[in-house]
A and B are shown apart, each in its own frame.
Chain A
Amino acid sequence: MIQTIYVMWLRQLKRYWRSKSRLIGSIGQPLLFLVAFGFGFSPVFEKAGGVDYMQFLVPGIVAMTILFTSMFTGIEVVWDRRFGFLKETLVAPISRTDIMIGRTLGGATISVIQGLVVLLLAFLIGFRPVSWFSILPAVFFMFLLSIFLTGFGTAIASRIDDMQAFPMIMNLLIMPMFFLSGALFPIDGLPSFIKLLVLVNPLSYGVDGLRATLTGVMSFTLPLDLTVLAGLSILVNLVGAWLFSRIEI
């Protein structure tokens, strides 16, 4: 069982590491957001209340990186189905749950790596965490968020066999999740109906957890962030494993 999970995980990391364009491409977008928004809005925020916007923004952009990478990991299932490799795993004498766990862990590991790369780049342009030790709990949050989102993406992908439809459906989910998560702006002063959307958005808790650990600023509490993310991770992966076990080719 551990072996199955391990090879599934290893396969994804190998594929990731060998695809340099994917590596670069998926970091380009967060970097653009970081630079454009960070430098663009910093003066405004400074005038408004002396907040260092770059400090505020970086955890949000790290969460965004994880959001995109994790959700799109699901496309590997669609690819594997399209290019036939899925069959190889489905006729093997292994449990579907192990396949799902291996895939989720693989995708989550890649997401965390991507998130760390973006965090590293943020350090280079001046971001400073409250303390260097806060990186560790931040990585833990990144991992938890990745597990949730990868499981989510994979679960959706197990029901889709259309290569063109998958990115569209993903964007439909990803964009509102990103913009209504407090990644770009503080959620405290929002109109109540938007605030409600933010509160039901799981990503908000990931952003909040990351911001809390990295900068000490938070809108919710750490235990709440943790509970929501852990609960959803378990739920989404259980549903995913069930959907995965029902795949017929």
Chain B
Amino acid sequence: MIKVMNLTKNFNGFTAVDDISFNVGEGEIFAFLGPNGAGKSTTIKMLTTLLKPSSGKLMVNGFNPLTQQDDARRSFGIVFQDQSIDEELTAYENMEFHGVLYGVEKETRTERIKQLMEMVGLWSRRDDYVKYYSGGMKRRLEIARGLIHHPRILFLDEPTLGLDPQTRNNIWEHILELNADDGMTIFFTTHYMAEAEEVADRVAIIDHGQIITSGTVEEIRSSTSTSSLEDAFLQLTGRSIREENATSMDRMRLRRGVRR
């Protein structure tokens, strides 16, 4: 479903993603883990046509995101790390906007919007402005929105960041349902290792732009002789805290609007 071969991304001499390769099969739940600044979001941005790779090959649902942009774009839904809804519009208007952009016919659109908003429990609040929504509600709305065009792949960049356990469980329930019922491929990043441990079929750990290990949770645990994914993660990536915005390079990248 997703093929990445020797993917590299440089920002003015800084290598954010350094020659990584991996595959994600159809219907798989794939966790992409790594410390802050490891290159997770940059990779997702390249897979979702927002950034151009410096070198390497990409395939998303059989399409090349560089040359078959629109086919690739139709193949996936995405929930970004930071919010991407228009707060000045109502929840329904945001959904409608997305449906139109993806060319979903009016009748189908109306039907799907209702069904999806009911699924995430926001149908009764559909006419509220999004600015009055809580963080969890916004997240649920973003997930529902990403599904209107029935994507084959769902990208989730830290979908549960800053959410309470109730909302987190609720969101994962929906996602697992989609995966089980429609065989939707799920590609997600998270900092909650327990989360990845619980839902992921396969895991890849990336650090300093390179994939240091990948496999099932079981495989990673046994290869590091640890009892939990969190321990394995810490053993592999070290205990030092990453200073994300400290260097001048980082500031420059921030100024260029490149956030990780």
- Chain A residues with a Cβ under 8 A of chain B: 3-4, 6-7, 11, 14-15, 18-19, 81, 83-85, 87-94, 161-162, 248-249
- Interface 1/0s, chain B 222-235, versus A by CB < 8 A? 00000000000000
**Contact B45–A249 (Cβ < 8 Å):** yes
**Contact A94–B85 (Cβ < 8 Å):** no
**Contact B86–A11 (Cβ < 8 Å):** yes
* Chain B residues within an 8 Å CB radius of A88: 84-86, 98
| Beyond A91-B49, A93-B69, A248-B52, 6 additional pairs, beta carbon < 8 A | A7-B96, A84-B82, A87-B50, A88-B84, A92-B98, A248-B258
**Contact B85–A85 (Cβ < 8 Å):** yes
Query: How many of chain B's residues have a CB under 8 angstroms from any CB in A?
Result: 34
**Contact A91–B257 (Cβ < 8 Å):** no
* Chain B residues within an 8 Å CB radius of A249: 45, 50-51, 257-258
Per the 8 Å Cβ criterion, residues 37-76 of B in contact with A are 45, 48-52, 69-71, 73-74, 76
**Contact B83–A84 (Cβ < 8 Å):** yes
Contacts A14-B89, A92-B102; A7 near B97 (Cβ below 8 A): yes
Nearest residue, chain A, Cβ from B84: A84
Contacts A14-B93, A81-B257, A88-B85; A4 near B100 (Cβ below 8 A): yes
Contacts A84-B84, A91-B50; A11 near B101 (Cβ below 8 A): no
- Interface 1/0s, chain B 99-113, versus A by CB < 8 A? 011110000000000
Q: How many A-B pairs fall under 8 Å by CB?
A: 76
Distance between Cα atoms of A19 and B257 in the complex (Å) = 27
Distance between Cα atoms of A90 and B80 in the complex (Å) = 12
Per the 8 Å Cβ criterion, residues 214-260 of B in contact with A are 255-258
Taking each of A18, A93, A249, which has the highest tally of chain B beta carbons within 10 Å of its own beta carbon?
Answer: A93
* Chain A residues within an 8 Å CB radius of B82: 84
The answer to the question of B177 belonging to the interface, with a C-beta cut-off of 8 Å to chain A, is no
- Interface 1/0s, chain B 129-170, versus A by CB < 8 A? 000000000000000000000000000000000000000000
Nearest residue, chain A, Cβ from B259: A249
* Chain A residues within an 8 Å CB radius of B86: 11, 15, 85, 88
* Chain A residues within an 8 Å CB radius of B257: 81, 161, 248-249
* Chain B residues within an 8 Å CB radius of A89: 101
* Chain A residues within an 8 Å CB radius of B83: 83-84
Per a CB cutoff under 8 Å, which of A3, A4, A14, A92 touches B73? A92
Per a CB cutoff under 8 Å, which of A11, A87, A93, A248 touches B89? A11
Distance between Cα atoms of A92 and B94 in the complex (Å) = 13
**Contact B74–A93 (Cβ < 8 Å):** yes
Per a CB cutoff under 8 Å, which of B48, B73, B87, B93 touches A83? B87
Nearest residue, chain B, Cβ from A95: B70
Distance between Cα atoms of A77 and B73 in the complex (Å) = 21
Q: Which 9 A-B pairs have the closest CB atoms?
A: A84-B84, A93-B70, A93-B73, A92-B101, A161-B257, A7-B100, A88-B84, A93-B74, A87-B84
